[in-house]
Amino acid sequence: MSFKEYIFKQNTWWTNVDNLKDDQHLFALKKEKFIWRNNNFLNYDFKPGVYIATGMRQVGKTTHLKMFIENNINLSNKENFFYFNCDILSNKKEVVELIEYYLSNIANKKKKVYIILDEITAVKDGILAIKYLIDSGYKENIVYILSGSSSVNFKKTGEFLPGRRGSGVDFIFHPLSFLDYVKLKYPKEENILKNIAKEKNLELAYQKVKVKINLKKEFDKYLISGGIPKIINVFERQKEISIEEFQSYLSWIKSEVAKNGKDEYYIKTILERIYQSLSSDLSYNSISQDSGIGSHNTIYSYLNFLEDSFIVKQVYNYDFSQKKIQRRKNKKVYFNDPFVYWLINFWIKLGGRQDFADLKNDVLKSRIVENVVMIFLQKKFGEQLYFYKNNFEIDFINDDFAIEVKYQNKISNAEISNMLKFSGQKFIISKNTFKIYNNINIMPIEFFLLVF
């Protein structure tokens, strides 16, 4: 297939705007029961500049790029929406030739032009191609939207595009939080979910929500499907996640590993160590020694790669006395979505049908619950999330809160007294207990994730 044929094959709306209805991503989306819309992205007022959309694969980036086109295209501007999946491009030269051909032969440069390059991080030094184009004058009235499933290359954007991004901003496509998940499945209850945190009596608010939504049942489902829209629909429809689905997502991890020149055995071994030690603090040295992989520098490099690929998240120890992040001390490593936990489980156990047996083990389930809390807090507070460990441990802290996950039937006095040493909001996340004691909010996990 020629270069020109590839371009027209990916932009069928140029010949007829109605062809967009047959786009494979939009066609598949319309068949789903639950359709997630990232309105922060879809409704954004894009002005000329370079915009970046990142997030793990299969979380809906490509679908949202197509939804954005569908929402804004019409007969008079259809040639000014250019989409291209860069997975088939080999180098930055091809990116430049692609854009120059489009701007010279197809786009109406008197109107705003949208150049949407999907998975541009698959192209080595693809960002440098954008720098070249902007420096060559291709910036007036042009909106560049660049997507990728790894932040490795995008981290260099400030270095490569200083002063060249115009009005551009970054969008991170996270898997859905439990609150987003509940809103997706119960759109008719949006008002009650929106106002729940405003209630003065939270326990009464909890009872009101439970009348409308079986929160415990939905939370248990969320612990399996996580917040990946496709998997949410698959699990709702089939009541299981097939081996084929696991294999498909596993191929995503393996492809990221191969593209970035990493050793697949090292990746699998490190992820297995994280899986086995989930919720416990680790050192790079201990992972190196237990796995037999090189030095702690190798572990450091591989964990950063996994974090940049949105597979795991590292949480660091914080020393309150020194007001300092202890990056050299042990850290905790979590998965970026509950489904990733099961995906790694599938990989290290060499495939086979997944029965989600870990959820029947109270200890293992509590680890997954703690992981879910981290996902929720990290999405809300970003890098301002730590844990505390010095004589005793608190799972998550920052300057404004202290949160301890105790997914168990009883909360001990010792667990409560440790929390009193912290200022700000204090929460103990329980299995069933709901009470306020000495300004410490003790509440069930599924409610905490709705109101905090």
Other CB atoms within 10 A of residue 170 CB: 13
For 25-61, the pLDDT digits (tens) are 999 999 999 999 999 999 999 999 999 999 988 899 9
As assigned by CATH, the class of the 3-172 domain is: alpha beta
Q: Output the CA–CA distances (angstroms, integers) from residue 261 to 92, 105, 254, 258, 305, in the order listed.
A: 18, 37, 11, 5, 11
Distance CA 141, CA 110 (A): 8
Give start and end residues of each alpha helix (H) in 116-227. 126-135, 157-160, 178-185, 190-195, 202-212, 215-225
Q: Average pLDDT for residues 199-210, to the nearest whole number?
A: 88
Token pair in block for residue 426: 């204090």
For residue 386, the one-letter residue type is Y
157: pLDDT strictly greater than 70: no
pLDDT tens profile 375-392: 999 999 988 999 999 888
Torsion 257-261-263-267 (CA) sign: negative
pTM of this prediction exceeds 0.95:
no
Q: What is the mean pLDDT of the chain?
A: 92
Q: What is the pLDDT of residue 416?
A: 87
Residues in the chain: 452
pLDDT tens-digit readout, 428-440: 999 999 998 888 9
Is pLDDT of 3 > 80? no
Whether pLDDT at 152 is above 80: no
The closest of 229, 293, 224, 228 to 263, measured between CA atoms, is 293
H/E stretch holding 370 reads helix 362-381
Q: Which helix (H) or strand (E) holds 63?
A: helix 61-72
Asked if pLDDT for residue 156 goes beyond 60, the answer is no
Average pLDDT over residues 421-427: 90
pLDDT tens for each residue of 245-284: 999 999 989 988 998 899 999 999 999 999 999 999 999 9
Q: Where in the chain is the domain with CATH 3.40.50.300?
A: 3-172
Per-residue pLDDT, 223: 98
